Every structure is written in C-alpha cells, then in structure tokens.
Amino acid sequence: MPVNFGTLPSGEVVTAHTLTNDRGLQLVVLDLGATLQSLCVTDARGELVELTLGFDDVEGYVQAANPYLGATVGRYANRIADASFVLDGTRHNLSANEGPTCLHGGVDGFHARLWSVLDATPSSITLRLVSPDGDQGFPGELTVTATYALEGDSVVLTYEATTDAPTVVSLTNHAYFDLGGPGGGGVDAHRLTVRSDGYLPVDSRSVPEGAVESVTGTPLDLTTSVPLRDRVRAGHPQVAVVSGIDHTYVLAGSGDRTVARLEHPDSGRALEVATDQPSLQVYTGNRLDGALLGRGGTLLRQGDGICLETQQLPDAPNQPQFPSTVLRPGETYQAHTRWTLSTRPGPA
C-alpha cells in the first residue's frame, strides 16, 4: 500500500512503497527517482536493521546537494567528458553538472523525476519513466522501466529501455551501503572483494583516461578480501586524485556472474553482487563532507557508505575502445543486478 512520503515544490505527491518477504527483508522504494529509500534486514532479535544511507523526507531528496542516495541514475550513469558526444556524425551537447562534465544524466537526471508505478506486489514493484527527445541533451525518446524484487535473501534490480531514435544508455542504482547498520563504522569497518584485475585510471575530473590498467601492485587491488580502511588512505596517485576509491573495475565474462563481496566482520553481514553488466564502480563516499543530514538527523560524513554501481563503462560514448553503449530503435536495453545478503555470527 503506497503511503504519502511528502510533497514536491510543484505540489505533486511522492509515494513510498514498502516491499517485504518471509526472509526478513524490507525495502522501501520511492516513485521519486525510482529511489531505494531504505533496505533493512531482520536481526537475530527480530528487529529491523537499516543497511543503507538515506533521508527521512522529500526535502532531502530534492536538494541540489543530494549525492544520489539510493537513486536510479540515468540517462547515463557516471561521467561523460565535456558534457558532449558524437553519435552517427551529430554532436549532442548535454547538461553539465560537475564542472564541464555530465554526471549521472545531468542536472535534471532520472533521480529527480517522478516515475509512474506499472505494477506492484507485496515483494516487487515496477516503475516507468518516459524521457523525451532532447532530455538533458540526449537524443531520442527513451522509455525506461525499473523493477525491484525481493527473492529469498536477495534484492533483484532489473532495468529495461527502448528508444525511438539512436541514443546512449547506462542505468544503475546508487545505494550507499553500511552493513553494520546505523553507527556501523562506514567504509572503514568493511572488507571488499572485487573479481576484476583491471581498472580505469581517472584524471582530475574523475573521467577515465582511456586505458585499462592492472590493479596488481596498487591499493586498488581488491582481488582478495581486504580491509577498505587500508586502501582508502593509501599513498597512491589514483587514491589521492579522488580522495579514496571512485574507480571503474572492468569485469571479465558475460551474463549474470558474481562480481563482488562486501563484508562487515563485526556484524557478520555480507553482501554479494551479481550482474550482467561490464563494469562495477566502487565509490567509498569520498565527497560526503558532513554538510548534509541523513536518516535520523545524523551527519553524512566522508566514508559513511560505499556504493557498488553495476553499469556500462563511463565516458564510453567518447571512447571507442570501450564497449558500445548505443541503443537503437527496435533494440531493448537490459541490465540485471542481484544483491544477496547473508549473516554469520560476528566475533564474540
């Protein structure tokens, strides 16, 4: 049953939809931005524990400084350099919202839109958005659906999109995880494994320089489970340029496969990420600076949460050596991600 979450400045009502299942998962989805507002698990005492960062009210999500907490971002996740690209000989100038760069679809990206609900059950919801031709500079009318579903111990996210003219597409969810729950220690309290031995170094704009480089011998090597506190403070140029980790890991293989495992040793909780996407953006909340109040009125500080964003490669429209992200009429864009949660007893 949808409930009123608040009202936009336009007067439109934002609704919250709560999904539950018999495995103790609870997910709250807003129609604003097809946003994951809350993800909880039931602990051994039968109490719900919040695993993501979020805001308590609409005002938090509509502020310009919202760091995309839990949002569905698009039309193009991550960065497009110089807010422009050429497709079929025509240059398209985009909305620039990070200096000269187009980040996560521009100023008025999908995270800021009211989506319509196509279907909802107690454990799943599908939302729809129509992005008009020229939206934030992107060509073609794009029709998008986002589905959240609780399946056993997993949250399954599915995106689909079609277009009436050639365009570029990359969609992802921007949840910030803290598996320890409120006060769980943020990034420093976690260990992470990413099944990738290649990453994209970035320049001072956080735009990929172009070549895939080996993680071997760098603090970005996450091929075995490592404590993140050691990596986000390492004296390495690529850590320094983004004040932590904010890098794309290029994933081997195709189809649905497990690509990452996040662990919180003190609570015993773990999150496995499986996807059919070609890359994973690991972002350690480097730009959270204490200027925003999150859920419960707590300050959102650097490293309070970690994002594991499954997506196409950033700036691919400008870098022909990357896999194409072009979608043409008659084709269907699809992206699939599964988050599987588990718990083992923490240390005594």
- DSSP label of 157: E
- DSSP label of 76: B
Rounded to an integer, what is the distance from CA 16 to the centroid of its chain?
19
Distance of alpha carbon 33 from alpha carbon 240, whole angstroms = 31
Structural element, H or E, at residue 279: strand 279-283
Known catalytic residues?
Answer: 174, 309
Bridge partner residues of 34 (DSSP): none
What are 95-104's contacts with CB under 8 Å, separation 24+?
95/136, 95/137, 98/205, 98/206, 99/205, 100/205, 101/205, 101/206, 101/207, 102/76, 102/136, 102/137, 103/78, 103/79, 104/68, 104/73, 104/74, 104/76, 104/77, 104/78, 104/174
Q: Measuring CA to CA, which residue among 207, 276, 287, 214 is closest to residue 247?
A: 207
